[in-house]
Structure 1
Amino acid sequence: MLGFDAWKRQDYLLNRMTMRDLVRAYVTYPGVQIYLVLIAIFSAGVFFVNPDPLRVALSVGAAVAVYSLAWYLIHRFILHSRLLYKSQFTAALWKRVHYDHHRYPNDMGVLFGGLHTTIPTILAITFPIGWLIGGAAGALSAAATGMAVTCVYEFFHCTQHLSFNPKSAFMKRIKAQHLAHHFHDESGNYGIIDFSWDRFFGTHYPEMSDRPRSATARNLGYDAAEAERYPWVAELSGDRPARDHASENA
Protein backbone atom coordinates (compact mmCIF):
# COMPACT_ATOMS: atom_id res chain seq x y z
CA MET A 1 0.00 0.00 0.00
CA LEU A 2 1.39 3.34 -1.07
CA GLY A 3 1.46 5.76 1.86
CA PHE A 4 -0.07 9.24 1.80
CA ASP A 5 3.32 10.97 1.95
CA ALA A 6 4.71 8.97 -0.96
CA TRP A 7 1.56 9.57 -3.00
CA LYS A 8 1.61 13.32 -2.29
CA ARG A 9 5.25 13.61 -3.35
CA GLN A 10 4.26 12.70 -6.90
CA ASP A 11 2.54 14.94 -9.41
CA TYR A 12 -0.92 13.77 -10.40
CA LEU A 13 -2.11 16.36 -12.89
CA LEU A 14 -5.17 14.95 -14.59
CA ASN A 15 -4.82 17.14 -17.68
CA ARG A 16 -1.46 15.41 -18.33
CA MET A 17 -2.58 11.84 -17.61
CA THR A 18 -3.96 9.04 -19.76
CA MET A 19 -6.78 6.79 -18.60
CA ARG A 20 -4.20 4.14 -17.78
CA ASP A 21 -2.29 6.66 -15.64
CA LEU A 22 -5.53 7.55 -13.85
CA VAL A 23 -6.43 3.94 -13.08
CA ARG A 24 -2.94 3.33 -11.70
CA ALA A 25 -3.06 6.46 -9.56
CA TYR A 26 -6.61 5.77 -8.41
CA VAL A 27 -6.03 2.22 -7.20
CA THR A 28 -2.87 3.27 -5.36
CA TYR A 29 -4.48 6.25 -3.67
CA PRO A 30 -4.51 5.47 0.08
CA GLY A 31 -7.97 6.94 0.58
CA VAL A 32 -9.48 4.58 -2.00
CA GLN A 33 -7.68 1.64 -0.42
CA ILE A 34 -9.08 2.59 2.98
CA TYR A 35 -12.59 2.82 1.53
CA LEU A 36 -12.18 -0.67 0.07
CA VAL A 37 -11.01 -2.05 3.42
CA LEU A 38 -14.00 -0.48 5.17
CA ILE A 39 -16.36 -1.86 2.54
CA ALA A 40 -14.96 -5.35 3.18
CA ILE A 41 -15.24 -4.95 6.97
CA PHE A 42 -18.80 -3.63 6.90
CA SER A 43 -19.88 -6.24 4.35
CA ALA A 44 -18.42 -9.05 6.43
CA GLY A 45 -20.10 -7.65 9.53
CA VAL A 46 -23.52 -7.96 7.89
CA PHE A 47 -23.33 -11.75 8.01
CA PHE A 48 -22.67 -11.82 11.75
CA VAL A 49 -25.87 -10.04 12.76
CA ASN A 50 -28.57 -12.34 11.32
CA PRO A 51 -29.42 -10.25 8.26
CA ASP A 52 -32.82 -10.21 6.63
CA PRO A 53 -32.00 -10.27 2.86
CA LEU A 54 -34.95 -8.08 1.93
CA ARG A 55 -34.12 -5.43 4.53
CA VAL A 56 -30.48 -5.50 3.53
CA ALA A 57 -31.46 -4.95 -0.11
CA LEU A 58 -33.76 -2.09 0.89
CA SER A 59 -30.95 -0.55 2.97
CA VAL A 60 -28.58 -0.72 0.01
CA GLY A 61 -31.17 0.85 -2.28
CA ALA A 62 -31.91 3.61 0.22
CA ALA A 63 -28.20 4.41 0.60
CA VAL A 64 -27.81 4.72 -3.17
CA ALA A 65 -30.91 6.90 -3.43
CA VAL A 66 -29.98 9.26 -0.60
CA TYR A 67 -26.34 9.60 -1.69
CA SER A 68 -27.15 11.76 -4.70
CA LEU A 69 -29.33 14.12 -2.67
CA ALA A 70 -26.81 14.29 0.17
CA TRP A 71 -23.99 15.11 -2.24
CA TYR A 72 -26.07 17.84 -3.88
CA LEU A 73 -26.95 19.47 -0.55
CA ILE A 74 -23.40 19.23 0.82
CA HIS A 75 -21.84 20.52 -2.38
CA ARG A 76 -24.25 23.41 -2.77
CA PHE A 77 -24.83 24.57 0.79
CA ILE A 78 -21.61 23.59 2.59
CA LEU A 79 -18.74 23.36 0.12
CA HIS A 80 -19.90 26.50 -1.69
CA SER A 81 -20.79 28.38 1.46
CA ARG A 82 -18.81 31.59 1.79
CA LEU A 83 -19.42 31.52 5.53
CA LEU A 84 -16.72 28.87 5.89
CA TYR A 85 -13.83 31.10 4.83
CA LYS A 86 -15.11 33.92 7.03
CA SER A 87 -14.34 32.00 10.21
CA GLN A 88 -10.83 31.28 11.40
CA PHE A 89 -12.06 27.94 12.69
CA THR A 90 -13.42 26.65 9.37
CA ALA A 91 -11.16 28.39 6.85
CA ALA A 92 -8.63 25.57 6.71
CA LEU A 93 -11.37 22.99 6.30
CA TRP A 94 -12.99 24.91 3.44
CA LYS A 95 -9.63 25.43 1.75
CA ARG A 96 -8.83 21.73 1.91
CA VAL A 97 -12.18 20.27 0.95
CA HIS A 98 -13.18 22.56 -1.91
CA TYR A 99 -11.37 25.86 -2.52
CA ASP A 100 -8.15 24.12 -3.57
CA HIS A 101 -10.08 21.88 -5.95
CA HIS A 102 -11.65 24.85 -7.72
CA ARG A 103 -8.34 26.65 -7.71
CA TYR A 104 -6.40 23.65 -9.07
CA PRO A 105 -9.13 21.56 -10.71
CA ASN A 106 -6.72 19.20 -12.46
CA ASP A 107 -4.69 18.35 -9.37
CA MET A 108 -5.77 14.89 -8.27
CA GLY A 109 -4.12 15.50 -4.91
CA VAL A 110 -6.86 17.96 -3.92
CA LEU A 111 -9.74 16.35 -5.79
CA PHE A 112 -10.43 13.75 -3.11
CA GLY A 113 -11.97 14.87 0.14
CA GLY A 114 -10.03 14.28 3.34
CA LEU A 115 -10.94 11.01 5.04
CA HIS A 116 -11.39 12.86 8.35
CA THR A 117 -14.39 14.59 6.77
CA THR A 118 -15.69 12.07 4.24
CA ILE A 119 -15.88 8.94 6.40
CA PRO A 120 -17.81 10.56 9.30
CA THR A 121 -20.15 12.20 6.79
CA ILE A 122 -20.85 8.95 4.97
CA LEU A 123 -21.49 7.12 8.25
CA ALA A 124 -23.69 9.91 9.63
CA ILE A 125 -25.91 9.72 6.56
CA THR A 126 -26.04 5.98 5.87
CA PHE A 127 -25.99 4.40 9.33
CA PRO A 128 -29.29 5.90 10.60
CA ILE A 129 -31.12 5.14 7.36
CA GLY A 130 -29.88 1.57 7.28
CA TRP A 131 -30.64 1.07 10.97
CA LEU A 132 -34.22 2.25 10.56
CA ILE A 133 -34.74 -0.17 7.69
CA GLY A 134 -32.83 -3.25 8.80
CA GLY A 135 -31.22 -2.78 12.20
CA ALA A 136 -27.50 -3.48 12.54
CA ALA A 137 -27.33 -5.44 9.27
CA GLY A 138 -29.08 -2.60 7.46
CA ALA A 139 -26.75 -0.01 8.95
CA LEU A 140 -23.64 -1.95 7.96
CA SER A 141 -25.02 -2.60 4.47
CA ALA A 142 -25.89 1.06 3.97
CA ALA A 143 -22.47 2.18 5.20
CA ALA A 144 -20.67 -0.23 2.86
CA THR A 145 -22.84 1.02 0.01
CA GLY A 146 -22.06 4.64 0.84
CA MET A 147 -18.33 3.90 0.71
CA ALA A 148 -18.70 2.04 -2.59
CA VAL A 149 -20.75 4.81 -4.20
CA THR A 150 -18.13 7.32 -3.02
CA CYS A 151 -15.45 5.34 -4.86
CA VAL A 152 -17.56 5.33 -8.02
CA TYR A 153 -18.31 9.05 -7.76
CA GLU A 154 -14.67 9.93 -7.17
CA PHE A 155 -13.49 7.87 -10.14
CA PHE A 156 -15.99 9.55 -12.46
CA HIS A 157 -15.01 12.88 -10.93
CA CYS A 158 -11.40 12.18 -11.89
CA THR A 159 -12.35 11.27 -15.46
CA GLN A 160 -14.18 14.58 -15.81
CA HIS A 161 -10.90 16.42 -15.27
CA LEU A 162 -8.86 13.95 -17.30
CA SER A 163 -7.51 15.07 -20.66
CA PHE A 164 -9.51 12.70 -22.84
CA ASN A 165 -12.68 12.73 -24.91
CA PRO A 166 -15.10 10.04 -23.72
CA LYS A 167 -16.75 7.87 -26.35
CA SER A 168 -19.78 7.33 -24.15
CA ALA A 169 -22.54 9.91 -24.65
CA PHE A 170 -23.32 9.72 -20.93
CA MET A 171 -19.72 10.44 -19.91
CA LYS A 172 -19.46 13.26 -22.44
CA ARG A 173 -22.59 14.86 -21.04
CA ILE A 174 -21.66 14.68 -17.38
CA LYS A 175 -18.10 15.81 -18.09
CA ALA A 176 -19.29 18.89 -19.99
CA GLN A 177 -21.75 19.79 -17.25
CA HIS A 178 -19.23 19.35 -14.45
CA LEU A 179 -16.56 21.35 -16.25
CA ALA A 180 -19.12 24.10 -16.78
CA HIS A 181 -19.51 24.19 -12.99
CA HIS A 182 -15.75 24.71 -12.66
CA PHE A 183 -15.04 27.09 -15.50
CA HIS A 184 -18.30 28.86 -16.34
CA ASP A 185 -20.77 29.19 -13.45
CA GLU A 186 -20.21 27.51 -10.10
CA SER A 187 -23.74 28.24 -8.88
CA GLY A 188 -25.18 25.31 -10.83
CA ASN A 189 -24.47 21.76 -11.98
CA TYR A 190 -23.60 20.54 -8.49
CA GLY A 191 -23.95 16.89 -9.41
CA ILE A 192 -21.10 14.60 -10.44
CA ILE A 193 -22.89 11.67 -12.03
CA ASP A 194 -26.50 12.45 -11.24
CA PHE A 195 -27.84 15.91 -12.08
CA SER A 196 -31.46 15.08 -11.27
CA TRP A 197 -31.41 17.17 -8.07
CA ASP A 198 -30.02 20.11 -10.04
CA ARG A 199 -33.03 19.77 -12.30
CA PHE A 200 -35.38 19.49 -9.34
CA PHE A 201 -34.00 22.57 -7.56
CA GLY A 202 -33.49 24.63 -10.71
CA THR A 203 -29.68 24.76 -10.65
CA HIS A 204 -29.10 22.66 -13.76
CA TYR A 205 -27.86 24.18 -17.00
CA PRO A 206 -27.06 21.77 -19.86
CA GLU A 207 -25.21 24.33 -22.00
CA MET A 208 -22.88 27.16 -20.99
CA SER A 209 -24.88 29.46 -23.25
CA ASP A 210 -27.80 28.98 -20.86
CA ARG A 211 -26.13 31.19 -18.25
CA PRO A 212 -23.80 34.20 -18.17
CA ARG A 213 -20.26 33.44 -17.11
CA SER A 214 -19.56 33.83 -13.39
CA ALA A 215 -16.64 35.98 -12.25
CA THR A 216 -16.08 33.68 -9.26
CA ALA A 217 -16.04 30.21 -10.81
CA ARG A 218 -12.38 29.69 -9.95
CA ASN A 219 -12.10 31.47 -6.59
CA LEU A 220 -15.60 30.80 -5.18
CA GLY A 221 -15.87 34.44 -4.19
CA TYR A 222 -12.63 34.50 -2.22
CA ASP A 223 -10.97 37.35 -4.09
CA ALA A 224 -8.36 39.88 -2.98
CA ALA A 225 -10.95 42.06 -1.24
CA GLU A 226 -12.27 39.10 0.75
CA ALA A 227 -8.74 38.03 1.61
CA GLU A 228 -8.13 41.43 3.16
CA ARG A 229 -11.15 40.96 5.41
CA TYR A 230 -10.75 37.23 6.04
CA PRO A 231 -7.04 36.45 5.62
CA TRP A 232 -6.87 32.87 6.91
CA VAL A 233 -7.23 31.03 3.59
CA ALA A 234 -4.74 33.37 1.90
CA GLU A 235 -2.28 32.83 4.75
CA LEU A 236 -2.65 29.07 4.45
CA SER A 237 -2.24 29.25 0.68
CA GLY A 238 0.93 31.29 1.04
CA ASP A 239 0.02 33.62 -1.80
CA ARG A 240 -2.71 35.81 -3.17
CA PRO A 241 -6.14 34.39 -3.97
CA ALA A 242 -6.46 32.88 -7.41
CA ARG A 243 -7.84 35.04 -10.16
CA ASP A 244 -10.70 33.62 -12.13
CA HIS A 245 -9.40 32.38 -15.48
CA ALA A 246 -11.97 30.19 -17.17
CA SER A 247 -9.52 28.81 -19.71
CA GLU A 248 -6.69 28.13 -17.31
CA ASN A 249 -5.99 24.41 -16.86
CA ALA A 250 -9.13 23.55 -18.78
Structure 2
Amino acid sequence: MKNKHCTILLLLLILSFLGGAGYWFRSLARPHKKVSKKTFLKKPVLFIHGYAGNRFSFGLMLKRFEKNNWGVKSAVVKVSSVGKVSVLGDPAAAGSMIQVLFENNRASIDEQAVWLRDILEELMQNYALKSVNIVAHSMGAVSVLSYLTNYGNERTLPEVSKLVTLGAPYNDIDPGKNSKTIEQSPMSVNGPLRPSAIYRKLKKMRHSIAAQTLFLNIIGDIDNGKSDGSVSVSSARSLRYLLDEHVYSELIIRGKKATHRKLHENREIDLKIRYFLYH
Protein backbone atom coordinates (compact mmCIF):
# COMPACT_ATOMS: atom_id res chain seq x y z
CA MET A 1 0.00 0.00 0.00
CA LYS A 2 2.83 2.33 0.92
CA ASN A 3 4.52 1.78 -2.44
CA LYS A 4 1.22 2.46 -4.19
CA HIS A 5 0.85 5.82 -2.38
CA CYS A 6 4.43 6.74 -3.28
CA THR A 7 3.77 5.92 -6.93
CA ILE A 8 0.61 8.06 -6.98
CA LEU A 9 2.43 10.93 -5.31
CA LEU A 10 5.26 10.69 -7.82
CA LEU A 11 2.82 10.72 -10.72
CA LEU A 12 1.07 13.79 -9.31
CA LEU A 13 4.38 15.57 -8.95
CA ILE A 14 5.33 14.71 -12.53
CA LEU A 15 1.96 15.90 -13.84
CA SER A 16 2.26 19.10 -11.84
CA PHE A 17 5.73 19.73 -13.20
CA LEU A 18 4.63 19.04 -16.78
CA GLY A 19 1.63 21.32 -16.35
CA GLY A 20 3.80 24.12 -15.00
CA ALA A 21 6.37 23.64 -17.76
CA GLY A 22 3.62 23.65 -20.38
CA TYR A 23 2.14 26.88 -19.02
CA TRP A 24 5.59 28.51 -18.97
CA PHE A 25 6.28 27.35 -22.54
CA ARG A 26 2.97 28.73 -23.79
CA SER A 27 3.55 32.03 -22.00
CA LEU A 28 6.66 32.64 -24.10
CA ALA A 29 4.43 33.21 -27.13
CA ARG A 30 1.44 34.89 -25.46
CA PRO A 31 0.77 38.52 -24.60
CA HIS A 32 0.43 39.41 -20.94
CA LYS A 33 -2.48 41.29 -19.38
CA LYS A 34 -0.27 42.94 -16.78
CA VAL A 35 -0.80 46.71 -16.58
CA SER A 36 2.36 48.80 -16.53
CA LYS A 37 2.56 51.11 -13.52
CA LYS A 38 5.51 52.86 -15.12
CA THR A 39 5.84 54.09 -18.67
CA PHE A 40 9.60 53.68 -19.08
CA LEU A 41 9.15 52.73 -22.73
CA LYS A 42 7.74 55.83 -24.39
CA LYS A 43 7.27 54.02 -27.70
CA PRO A 44 6.25 50.44 -28.52
CA VAL A 45 9.19 48.11 -29.11
CA LEU A 46 9.12 45.24 -31.62
CA PHE A 47 11.38 42.22 -31.01
CA ILE A 48 12.42 40.37 -34.19
CA HIS A 49 14.07 36.93 -33.99
CA GLY A 50 16.76 35.63 -36.34
CA TYR A 51 16.97 32.72 -38.78
CA ALA A 52 15.21 29.63 -37.37
CA GLY A 53 14.26 31.71 -34.31
CA ASN A 54 11.20 31.05 -32.18
CA ARG A 55 9.49 32.00 -28.92
CA PHE A 56 12.70 31.35 -26.99
CA SER A 57 14.71 33.86 -29.03
CA PHE A 58 13.42 36.90 -27.18
CA GLY A 59 10.95 35.26 -24.79
CA LEU A 60 13.31 35.24 -21.82
CA MET A 61 14.57 38.77 -22.46
CA LEU A 62 10.97 39.99 -22.50
CA LYS A 63 10.36 38.28 -19.17
CA ARG A 64 13.41 40.00 -17.68
CA PHE A 65 12.32 43.38 -18.98
CA GLU A 66 8.88 42.86 -17.43
CA LYS A 67 10.38 41.75 -14.12
CA ASN A 68 12.41 44.97 -14.07
CA ASN A 69 9.26 47.00 -14.84
CA TRP A 70 10.80 48.31 -18.05
CA GLY A 71 7.73 47.46 -20.10
CA VAL A 72 4.92 44.97 -20.70
CA LYS A 73 4.72 42.24 -23.32
CA SER A 74 1.29 43.45 -24.33
CA ALA A 75 1.14 41.91 -27.80
CA VAL A 76 2.37 39.03 -29.94
CA VAL A 77 2.30 39.39 -33.72
CA LYS A 78 2.35 36.15 -35.69
CA VAL A 79 3.00 35.87 -39.41
CA SER A 80 1.82 32.69 -41.12
CA SER A 81 3.87 30.87 -43.73
CA VAL A 82 1.85 32.65 -46.44
CA GLY A 83 2.33 36.08 -44.85
CA LYS A 84 -0.97 36.52 -43.00
CA VAL A 85 -0.53 38.84 -40.01
CA SER A 86 -2.43 38.19 -36.79
CA VAL A 87 -2.19 40.34 -33.67
CA LEU A 88 -2.80 39.01 -30.16
CA GLY A 89 -3.17 41.54 -27.36
CA ASP A 90 -2.86 45.32 -27.44
CA PRO A 91 0.20 46.80 -29.22
CA ALA A 92 -0.88 50.30 -28.17
CA ALA A 93 -0.76 49.64 -24.41
CA ALA A 94 1.49 51.79 -22.23
CA GLY A 95 5.05 50.44 -22.15
CA SER A 96 4.24 48.00 -24.96
CA MET A 97 6.72 45.31 -25.99
CA ILE A 98 5.64 43.40 -29.10
CA GLN A 99 7.01 39.94 -29.86
CA VAL A 100 7.11 39.07 -33.58
CA LEU A 101 7.06 35.40 -34.57
CA PHE A 102 7.43 34.13 -38.15
CA GLU A 103 5.85 30.71 -38.74
CA ASN A 104 8.28 30.25 -41.64
CA ASN A 105 11.34 31.13 -39.59
CA ARG A 106 13.68 30.25 -42.45
CA ALA A 107 12.21 32.66 -44.98
CA SER A 108 14.43 34.92 -47.07
CA ILE A 109 15.41 38.45 -46.12
CA ASP A 110 13.25 39.85 -48.94
CA GLU A 111 10.21 37.90 -47.71
CA GLN A 112 10.71 39.02 -44.13
CA ALA A 113 11.12 42.65 -45.22
CA VAL A 114 7.72 42.50 -46.93
CA TRP A 115 6.18 40.86 -43.86
CA LEU A 116 7.65 43.57 -41.64
CA ARG A 117 6.02 46.15 -43.86
CA ASP A 118 2.68 44.35 -43.50
CA ILE A 119 3.11 44.22 -39.71
CA LEU A 120 3.88 47.91 -39.42
CA GLU A 121 1.05 48.83 -41.75
CA GLU A 122 -1.30 46.81 -39.52
CA LEU A 123 0.00 48.61 -36.42
CA MET A 124 -0.45 52.00 -38.08
CA GLN A 125 -3.91 51.44 -39.50
CA ASN A 126 -5.57 49.49 -36.70
CA TYR A 127 -3.67 50.65 -33.60
CA ALA A 128 -2.65 54.19 -34.60
CA LEU A 129 1.04 53.57 -33.88
CA LYS A 130 2.97 56.37 -35.59
CA SER A 131 6.43 55.58 -34.22
CA VAL A 132 8.13 52.41 -32.93
CA ASN A 133 11.50 51.09 -31.81
CA ILE A 134 12.89 47.69 -32.85
CA VAL A 135 15.27 45.15 -31.27
CA ALA A 136 16.44 42.46 -33.71
CA HIS A 137 18.82 39.50 -33.57
CA SER A 138 21.07 38.01 -36.24
CA MET A 139 19.44 37.67 -39.68
CA GLY A 140 16.34 39.37 -38.28
CA ALA A 141 18.39 42.57 -38.01
CA VAL A 142 19.44 42.27 -41.67
CA SER A 143 15.77 41.85 -42.61
CA VAL A 144 14.89 44.99 -40.63
CA LEU A 145 17.62 46.92 -42.43
CA SER A 146 16.30 45.62 -45.74
CA TYR A 147 12.85 46.84 -44.69
CA LEU A 148 14.27 50.29 -43.87
CA THR A 149 16.08 50.56 -47.22
CA ASN A 150 12.90 49.67 -49.11
CA TYR A 151 10.11 51.21 -47.05
CA GLY A 152 11.71 53.40 -44.37
CA ASN A 153 10.42 56.67 -45.81
CA GLU A 154 6.84 55.61 -46.54
CA ARG A 155 4.46 58.00 -44.80
CA THR A 156 1.74 55.38 -44.46
CA LEU A 157 4.00 53.36 -42.12
CA PRO A 158 5.16 54.08 -38.56
CA GLU A 159 8.51 55.79 -38.19
CA VAL A 160 11.25 53.52 -36.85
CA SER A 161 12.83 55.81 -34.28
CA LYS A 162 15.54 53.47 -32.93
CA LEU A 163 16.94 50.10 -33.97
CA VAL A 164 19.02 47.81 -31.75
CA THR A 165 20.82 45.00 -33.62
CA LEU A 166 22.42 41.95 -31.98
CA GLY A 167 25.04 39.84 -33.77
CA ALA A 168 23.89 40.79 -37.27
CA PRO A 169 25.74 39.23 -40.28
CA TYR A 170 25.44 42.20 -42.64
CA ASN A 171 28.18 41.05 -45.02
CA ASP A 172 27.69 37.28 -44.98
CA ILE A 173 26.96 35.53 -48.26
CA ASP A 174 23.98 33.81 -46.62
CA PRO A 175 23.05 35.68 -43.41
CA GLY A 176 20.78 32.88 -42.25
CA LYS A 177 22.64 29.60 -42.35
CA ASN A 178 25.77 28.75 -40.39
CA SER A 179 28.71 27.83 -42.60
CA LYS A 180 31.54 25.45 -41.71
CA THR A 181 33.86 28.44 -41.37
CA ILE A 182 32.91 31.87 -40.06
CA GLU A 183 32.85 34.40 -42.88
CA GLN A 184 35.49 37.07 -42.27
CA SER A 185 35.16 40.44 -44.02
CA PRO A 186 38.49 42.16 -44.79
CA MET A 187 37.99 45.92 -44.41
CA SER A 188 39.20 49.17 -45.91
CA VAL A 189 38.41 52.68 -44.70
CA ASN A 190 35.35 52.57 -46.97
CA GLY A 191 33.97 49.23 -45.82
CA PRO A 192 34.22 45.56 -46.83
CA LEU A 193 36.76 44.76 -49.54
CA ARG A 194 34.60 41.83 -50.65
CA PRO A 195 30.99 42.93 -50.21
CA SER A 196 28.35 40.22 -50.48
CA ALA A 197 25.40 40.54 -52.87
CA ILE A 198 23.11 41.39 -49.95
CA TYR A 199 25.51 44.03 -48.64
CA ARG A 200 25.82 45.62 -52.09
CA LYS A 201 22.04 45.81 -52.32
CA LEU A 202 21.78 47.41 -48.87
CA LYS A 203 24.51 49.90 -49.76
CA LYS A 204 22.78 50.85 -53.01
CA MET A 205 19.51 51.53 -51.16
CA ARG A 206 20.93 53.01 -47.94
CA HIS A 207 19.81 56.55 -48.76
CA SER A 208 16.20 55.40 -48.42
CA ILE A 209 16.66 54.87 -44.67
CA ALA A 210 14.87 57.62 -42.76
CA ALA A 211 17.45 60.20 -41.67
CA GLN A 212 16.14 60.33 -38.08
CA THR A 213 16.48 56.59 -37.31
CA LEU A 214 19.13 55.91 -34.65
CA PHE A 215 21.13 52.66 -34.51
CA LEU A 216 22.83 50.71 -31.73
CA ASN A 217 24.87 47.86 -33.19
CA ILE A 218 25.78 45.29 -30.48
CA ILE A 219 28.49 42.83 -31.46
CA GLY A 220 29.74 39.71 -29.66
CA ASP A 221 33.45 38.89 -29.45
CA ILE A 222 34.59 35.63 -27.86
CA ASP A 223 37.91 35.13 -29.66
CA ASN A 224 40.00 38.32 -29.70
CA GLY A 225 38.15 40.31 -32.31
CA LYS A 226 37.23 37.49 -34.68
CA SER A 227 33.62 36.49 -33.97
CA ASP A 228 30.79 35.66 -31.57
CA GLY A 229 31.16 32.01 -32.57
CA SER A 230 28.81 32.33 -35.56
CA VAL A 231 29.10 35.86 -36.97
CA SER A 232 32.42 37.60 -37.53
CA VAL A 233 33.04 40.94 -35.83
CA SER A 234 33.97 42.40 -39.24
CA SER A 235 30.67 41.30 -40.82
CA ALA A 236 28.66 42.78 -37.96
CA ARG A 237 30.68 46.02 -38.03
CA SER A 238 29.96 46.44 -41.75
CA LEU A 239 26.78 48.28 -40.78
CA ARG A 240 28.80 51.38 -39.82
CA TYR A 241 29.73 51.96 -43.47
CA LEU A 242 26.09 52.17 -44.52
CA LEU A 243 25.09 54.92 -42.09
CA ASP A 244 26.00 58.48 -41.18
CA GLU A 245 28.18 58.76 -38.08
CA HIS A 246 25.67 60.85 -36.13
CA VAL A 247 22.99 58.12 -36.18
CA TYR A 248 25.29 55.15 -35.52
CA SER A 249 26.65 53.79 -32.25
CA GLU A 250 28.47 50.52 -31.67
CA LEU A 251 29.10 48.29 -28.69
CA ILE A 252 31.34 45.22 -28.60
CA ILE A 253 30.61 42.73 -25.80
CA ARG A 254 33.41 40.34 -24.88
CA GLY A 255 33.66 37.14 -22.87
CA LYS A 256 31.84 33.85 -22.45
CA LYS A 257 28.42 35.52 -22.43
CA ALA A 258 29.04 37.18 -25.78
CA THR A 259 28.32 34.12 -27.92
CA HIS A 260 25.83 34.52 -30.75
CA ARG A 261 23.05 32.66 -28.98
CA LYS A 262 23.67 34.37 -25.63
CA LEU A 263 23.50 37.94 -26.87
CA HIS A 264 19.80 38.13 -26.02
CA GLU A 265 20.41 36.43 -22.65
CA ASN A 266 23.18 38.80 -21.50
CA ARG A 267 22.21 41.07 -18.58
CA GLU A 268 24.82 43.65 -19.55
CA ILE A 269 23.16 43.93 -22.96
CA ASP A 270 19.76 44.29 -21.27
CA LEU A 271 21.03 47.44 -19.54
CA LYS A 272 22.59 48.83 -22.73
CA ILE A 273 19.30 48.37 -24.59
CA ARG A 274 17.39 50.03 -21.75
CA TYR A 275 19.70 53.04 -21.77
CA PHE A 276 19.59 53.42 -25.56
CA LEU A 277 15.79 53.22 -25.77
CA TYR A 278 15.31 55.62 -22.86
CA HIS A 279 17.66 58.41 -23.97
TM-score under structure 2 length normalisation: 0.25
TM-score under structure 1 length normalisation: 0.26
* Rg larger in structure: 2
Give the structure with the higher percent strand.
Answer: 2
